[in-house]
Chain A
């Protein structure tokens, strides 16, 4: 029986984060320069620096490498607020996924060189995970790495990379040594290396997305992260932790969407009474509230399970499947209540809608996590 309430320190962090982000990240800052025709926010460099200076970027990185050494439950308190504020910066991508892989797979030298810079916000390491067909199973990538005399030569395309334009390094999973199937190897590729082409792509997602093409990019032998052919040992746990925090972000954004939706349902009158008096609208509001709250509870429970290394991966997968679908449901319910108003660019709702769609699918959608859950349940039934 788990009490998912934050402890005093976590709650204090959450409140500081909420106040700070409310004061410094107005929703209007998410609107691009040529709004409404340009809906993609750019990298929020000032917020990025502030988050790094406050120690939040490195919060989950070990203390000996410049981080805060906090567990996932504490990160849950922070990421709920980053989600609520729709911060336009790759905190989760860099600090949790890339930082997590480096902390887990890196040599002492790699960790000492990279992690303090990463925590300080000076080194932006962007993971490139989505495969050529939109595949989230990283092992399906067709990006290849050939051995050369000096190191490796990488060729392939990562068609959907968030914040690629801000990257100093890319974390690139690739099949090494002519082995096109099975586990991947991981490489750190400088964004400025010859043969790396980053193409910004228009999208509905509310985050800057790009294709990253690697055309025979050569890197040194020291660019490998972890043992060749054992990438998933480090990447899979980092992605799992990342998606738990995505769900915390979804719940954080959901709380704000709920506030917007309930306030409108109380204020908007049709047929002489507030629309919130109609059960059809009450059902939508309560669906939204339940999806948000349950996502929050499951994310907190999942973070505790991972911190405690408790043998409950099925519960973690259930949380991720539920939270991913909740992202869809939150946006859907709110749009149904706000109707014409929420359909217009001048209202803030679509800023959440876009981001929620990206988060729904980022690091695996509900179907992906449900399939993995089913595998676990099947294995346990068979044993």
Chain B
């Protein structure tokens, strides 16, 4: 057994110092659910400062705007950022697009697109989901046909977070309608969201954020924006979706919420005693702590497996448990706090500054990037070898 964190104390301190300098209190709200202009502006400014440090491409080759640092350092960076609930933008560009480019992009694409992501010049939105293709991505119908040196893309993507604020859509489309199997004949494009033929329609979520419908009608896309090679889209997504090198650290974002909750319990009284002294409340706090601990050990095991090039079961298990823990956490927090948790905004009566009701509503977004049921099916079939 080896402690992967050993030797990185200085690095962690550097990251913490950056956050202390650049992230004032009150700015840490999770951005997917907040459309206030000033928060978006702050997030852009904040992420630009991250890019100035070179930390977006932390693990990438220097030739593409990276710093060639280790995945352990990236893990530590993201752990600290998630703990602080830092308003990082362009995670699609940072993780999915970059992962795909590094795996299958042309040399020219790697040399141009990656530095643009690393320097926050282009913000990417995810263009996978369609009205008829969610969990079943291969059911997608958006298509692209060649037209001279370009492609013409037609179809609809949906639930696109930041669709109205992004520059490019990482869109998977059907390029070979005659392919024998559904997941063949698919390709990825970077579609300019401001190109003629693109219409972005708002789709509001119940937690106050905005997703979007993206309609594409004969949108002209230059061949240079076809990621890698034509008809290799399925290979690209399966290789980069889970292995983009950016870990999913939901438990780290839970830490700040947990601290807020325990702080509330040390000041609020019910039944004549502090909540923190109530055995039922203590049991629920312990359940949350165990939940975070379980995810921490799985995330770190996933990291170790990556570092050592081992096949990992930890990431699949993490995906299931992390997703299932999101509504459970919100429910436990509500049971601890009680009815004042319903209040939002700045009212003095709103428990936890009105955040609890947001956690509860946001928890219904735990389907994003795959429902918990789909994650279980992945674990059962790919992990345990059960028949499909």
**In the assembled complex, how far is the CB of residue B35 from the closest CB belonging to chain A, in whole angstroms?**
9
Interface centre among B135, B337, B354, B373 (most CB of A within 10 A): B373
Chain A 233-275, CB-CB to B under 8 Å as 1, else 0, gives 0000000000000000000000000000000000001111000
B349, A339: Cβ atoms closer than 8 Å = no
**What residues on B are CB-neighbors of A270 within 8 Å?**
133-136, 139
Interface centre among B139, B158, B371 (most CB of A within 10 A): B371
B343 on interface, CB distance cutoff 8 Å: yes
A201 on interface, CB distance cutoff 8 Å: yes
**In the assembled complex, how far is the CB of residue B329 from the closest CB belonging to chain A, in whole angstroms?**
13
A361, B364: Cβ atoms closer than 8 Å = no
Q: How many residues of B contact A (CB 8 A)?
A: 52
**What residues on B are CB-neighbors of A136 within 8 Å?**
338-339
Q: How many residues of A contact B (CB 8 A)?
A: 50
Interface centre among B132, B271, B343, B377 (most CB of A within 10 A): B343
**In the assembled complex, how far is the CB of residue A94 from the closest CB belonging to chain B, in whole angstroms?**
19
**B342 partner, pick from A203, A284, A350, A367, beta carbons under 8 A:** A203
**A365 partner, pick from B132, B327, B335, beta carbons under 8 A:** B335
B342, A204: Cβ atoms closer than 8 Å = yes
A336, B371: Cβ atoms closer than 8 Å = yes
A135 on interface, CB distance cutoff 8 Å: yes
B357, A344: Cβ atoms closer than 8 Å = no
**In the assembled complex, how far is the CB of residue B323 from the closest CB belonging to chain A, in whole angstroms?**
10
B319 on interface, CB distance cutoff 8 Å: no
B211 on interface, CB distance cutoff 8 Å: yes
B344, A339: Cβ atoms closer than 8 Å = no
Bound together, the chains give a CA A261 to CA B354 distance in angstroms of: 30
Interface centre among A278, A339, A358, A371 (most CB of B within 10 A): A339
**In the assembled complex, how far is the CB of residue B202 from the closest CB belonging to chain A, in whole angstroms?**
9
A36, B204: Cβ atoms closer than 8 Å = yes
Bound together, the chains give a CA A204 to CA B339 distance in angstroms of: 11
Chain B 245-283, CB-CB to A under 8 Å as 1, else 0, gives 000000000000000000000001111100000001000
Using CB atoms, name the residue of chain B closest to A131: B270
Chain B 113-150, CB-CB to A under 8 Å as 1, else 0, gives 00000000000000001001111100100000000000
Bound together, the chains give a CA A39 to CA B345 distance in angstroms of: 14
Given contacts A140-B272, A201-B349, A211-B347, contact A340 B340 (CB under 8 A): no
B371, A201: Cβ atoms closer than 8 Å = no
Chain A 198-233, CB-CB to B under 8 Å as 1, else 0, gives 010111110001010000000000000000000000
Bound together, the chains give a CA A202 to CA B344 distance in angstroms of: 5
B312 on interface, CB distance cutoff 8 Å: no
B215 on interface, CB distance cutoff 8 Å: no
A336, B211: Cβ atoms closer than 8 Å = no
B222 on interface, CB distance cutoff 8 Å: no
Chain A residues packing against B (C-beta within 8 Å): 36-37, 39, 130, 133-137, 140, 157, 159-160, 199, 201-205, 209, 211, 269-272, 278, 280-281, 284, 328, 332, 335-336, 339-340, 342-346, 350, 353, 357-358, 361-362, 365-367, 371
Sample of 17 more A-B contacts, CB < 8 Å, known A203-B344, A343-B206, A344-B203 = A130-B339, A130-B340, A133-B270, A133-B340, A136-B339, A159-B343, A159-B349, A202-B344, A204-B360, A336-B371, A340-B368, A343-B367, A344-B205, A344-B206, A346-B204, A350-B206, A365-B335
Chain B residues packing against A (C-beta within 8 Å): 129, 132-136, 139, 158-159, 203-207, 211, 268-272, 280, 327, 331, 334-335, 337-345, 347, 349-351, 354, 357-358, 360-361, 364-365, 367-368, 371-373, 376-377
What are 7 A-B contacts with C-beta separation under 8 Å? Answer: A203-B343, A281-B373, A332-B327, A339-B367, A343-B365, A344-B205, A346-B203
